[in-house]
Structure 1
Amino acid sequence: MSQDTSDLTPDGGSTAVPGSTTGATAVTPSGTATSTASTYAGDTDDLVVLESSRPSLAARAAGEALGTFLLVLIGLGVTLYSPLSNAGSLGIALAFGFALVAGTIALGHVSGGHFNPAVTLGAVIAGRTPVRDLVPYWLAQLVGGALAAAALFATIPSALPGLVAEGGTSRTFFSGAANGYASHSPLSTQSNGQVTFDLLPALLIEVVLTAVLVAVVLGATSRRNWHVAAPFAFGLSYAGLLLVAIPITNGSLNPARSTAAAVFSEGWALSQLWVFWAAPLVGAAIAGLAHRAFAVDADSDNLLEEDHLVVDDDSLLDDDVAVSPRV
């Protein structure tokens, strides 16, 4: 048969290689199969079908859980022990940023690499992720984050909290990684209450910074951008934005991260948790609406998906067929 292969169609559909017969099946990005109209003369054994495929919802949810586990384990772990390691705000921000880069590179092709309920909401509103994926993704992210926090909580040495603060408990120690405002703002703690950030500044900073983060994610995964650079755009922007937010709220921008920390902290963290759901989700909605309004072909994109080739001729494998990333 001919050794020439077809390029992927712009919409992610399927094409047949010359030398094949009619009846090739085109699979659209949404998973709908359609029949191609091309007619070729040749042996049906030589048929090469290019189709767009994506992992199952269960696989994507598992990818989100694992990625969020990685993000929270590294980010919260560095935050938790920063009083002892002197990591400071820069170390914490870089830990979250590096973890996001690593998770996105490793798992972005599976689930899109959200690892954040705010990113998922923004992607849904922008038309980049199906609405039906919203709740499964959120549940997976919450489970992954909670498991990471549980692992960190279980490994706190019993004598450590008392060394850090007189009469401290494991929950007291873990509260240092929780998000908060007013008297629980990191700057308030460091200044002995002389400087505080009340509810309104906390809401405003989380809305604005999350909107910027989600806008970067949506922009970096546009068809007009090169996907290889996207994970670094995510991580660098996340780290930079956290440097702004950490003195004010301890840096959330991610409800899954905030929930994971609050569950194992003192009661005040749970009572203030609503702020770190409401503000990031509002910011994500703003970014999603803006992207949908101004981006070109926003509703046809998906975060970090790939178009895969399904080959029915082993002679082409490795030599003439490649997986082409959707850009």
Structure 2
Amino acid sequence: MTTDVAAPTPVKAPAEFSVVAKLVAEAFGTFLLAYAGLGVALFSSPSSAPIPTPFAVGLSIAVGIAAVGHISGGHFNPAVTLGLAVAGRTNWRLVPGYIASQLVGGLVGTLILWVTIRTLPSLSSGNSSQTIFTQLSNGFDDLSPSKFPMAAGLLAEVVATAVFVAIILFVTSKRAVKGMAPWAIGLGLSILVQAIAPITNASLNPARSTATAVFAQGNAFGQLWLFWVAPVLGAVLTGLIFRGFGSSDELHGATAGGVGDLTAEATRDDGTRVSETSVAPAEAGRGDARDAGVREPGSAPAAEAEPAPAADPATAEPAPETERAPERTADDDARDFFDKDR
């Protein structure tokens, strides 16, 4: 009698978001930061909108990560993108597109604020709107809120951005508490913005600095270089430290670049690769059938093996139970915001 063994269905890798979807998500998150975070700083007053500006900036980042972080990783910051790429958490092929999308999103959000200001008759002139955005921009010396020199601004931005990227790397670790990443990152940013706001007006983000400097006076745009150099330097330093001393299984793992990057290869948040957990293909199933003595259709009959002598029930040892893979629970299926299966 011939018995056919059905080949098991291989486990498919989770569907991956397209590069276009990731770029749109990065643009949206940076737009939210510029429009909402800077909008609070521009229009709020203690009586009408009591939310402090640093908290509004951090909250806008947290909401953006919670909304689209599972698509792109929720960077919204060129310095963060570069720092995570150096740390091995983001594929380098995504870096140019991410930075371009972040710049576009920040500029669009700030443009809407600029157009809104221009609708007021008292602020319709170009000089008035430029003065407002100059006060909103980052700067040192005369443009510093407390007149701090360039050296102080450089040091503050490097250290604050390095700490911010460290928070991101730690809270998105595979060992971190699930679901806490957006809020830990947002609150951490709020604290850091509050700490260095009197020094440079708190950038930590080249896209945010560029967005306001474009609509400000020329001296603000002339100081923009520092708010690219300092945040990128701080982020890269943290990325290098993490790559040199961090756990090796964190590299290319639960990344802030999304599932399925070439460096992540559809890595799950529990560290198990889909390719390793896939069920054996049909050929392996047929091999198991042959080992079990089941003849495949069309194949020559195998020589009959001599029956093994019957074991004495009194002396025979019980056969060990077949090891089974542990069943996944609901907790195991929980996905991290930065590495969610789709």
TM-score by length of 2: 0.71
User: 5+ residue gaps in structure 1?
Assistant: 1-39, 188-195, 310-319
In the alignment, the residues of structure 1 paired with residue 164 and residue 72 of structure 2 have an alpha-carbon distance, to the nearest angstrom, of 18
CA contact (8 A) 2:89 2:257 kept: no
SS at the partner of 2:109? helix
The structure with the larger Rg is 2
CA contact (8 A) 1:175 1:265 kept: yes
- Report how far residue 323 of structure 1 moved: 5.4
- Report how far residue 225 of structure 1 moved: 1.2
1:287 aligned to which of 226, 231, 238: 238
- Report how far residue 54 of structure 1 moved: 2.7
Match of 1:148 in 2: 109
Amino acid at match of 2:27: A
CA contact (8 A) 1:305 1:325 kept: no
Aligned residues: 265
- Report how far residue 285 of structure 1 moved: 0.5
2:133 is equivalent to residue 174 of structure 1? yes
- Report how far residue 168 of structure 1 moved: 5.5
Match of 1:42 in 2: 6
In the alignment, the residues of structure 1 paired with residue 184 and residue 82 of structure 2 have an alpha-carbon distance, to the nearest angstrom, of 19
2:148 aligned to which of 186, 194, 197: 197
Larger displacement relative to structure 2 (73-82 or 238-247): 73-82
SS at the partner of 2:90? coil
In the alignment, the residues of structure 1 paired with residue 5 and residue 34 of structure 2 have an alpha-carbon distance, to the nearest angstrom, of 56
2:22 is equivalent to residue 60 of structure 1? yes
1:186 aligned to which of 121, 133, 145: 145
Greater per-residue strand proportion: 1
- Report how far residue 83 of structure 1 moved: 6.4
For the aligned residue pairs, the C-alpha RMSD in angstroms reads 2.8
User: 5+ residue gaps in structure 2?
Assistant: 260-267, 275-328
SS at the partner of 1:253? coil
1:135 aligned to which of 91, 96, 111: 96
In the alignment, the residues of structure 2 paired with residue 227 and residue 56 of structure 1 have an alpha-carbon distance, to the nearest angstrom, of 25
CA contact (8 A) 1:161 1:173 kept: no
- Report how far residue 304 of structure 1 moved: 6.8
In the alignment, the residues of structure 2 paired with residue 147 and residue 160 of structure 1 have an alpha-carbon distance, to the nearest angstrom, of 23
TM-score by length of 1: 0.74
In the alignment, the residues of structure 2 paired with residue 229 and residue 304 of structure 1 have an alpha-carbon distance, to the nearest angstrom, of 17
In the alignment, the residues of structure 2 paired with residue 83 and residue 178 of structure 1 have an alpha-carbon distance, to the nearest angstrom, of 19
1:253-292 pair list within 5 angstroms: 253-292=204-243
Amino acid at match of 2:162: A
In the alignment, the residues of structure 2 paired with residue 169 and residue 265 of structure 1 have an alpha-carbon distance, to the nearest angstrom, of 10
In the alignment, the residues of structure 1 paired with residue 5 and residue 150 of structure 2 have an alpha-carbon distance, to the nearest angstrom, of 70
2:335 is equivalent to residue 325 of structure 1? yes
By relative contact order (CA 8 Å, sep 6+), the higher-ranking structure is: 2
In the alignment, the residues of structure 2 paired with residue 279 and residue 48 of structure 1 have an alpha-carbon distance, to the nearest angstrom, of 48
Match of 1:14 in 2: none
- Report how far residue 50 of structure 1 moved: 3.9
Cα deviation code 1:37-94 (max 9, x no counterpart): xxx94366xx362414431211111110011001111111112224686879x71100
In the alignment, the residues of structure 2 paired with residue 203 and residue 54 of structure 1 have an alpha-carbon distance, to the nearest angstrom, of 39
Amino acid at match of 2:131: T
1:222-237 pair list within 5 angstroms: 222-237=173-188
In the alignment, the residues of structure 2 paired with residue 270 and residue 86 of structure 1 have an alpha-carbon distance, to the nearest angstrom, of 31
Cα deviation code 1:138-184 (max 9, x no counterpart): 0000000000000100011333449xxx9951111222211111111
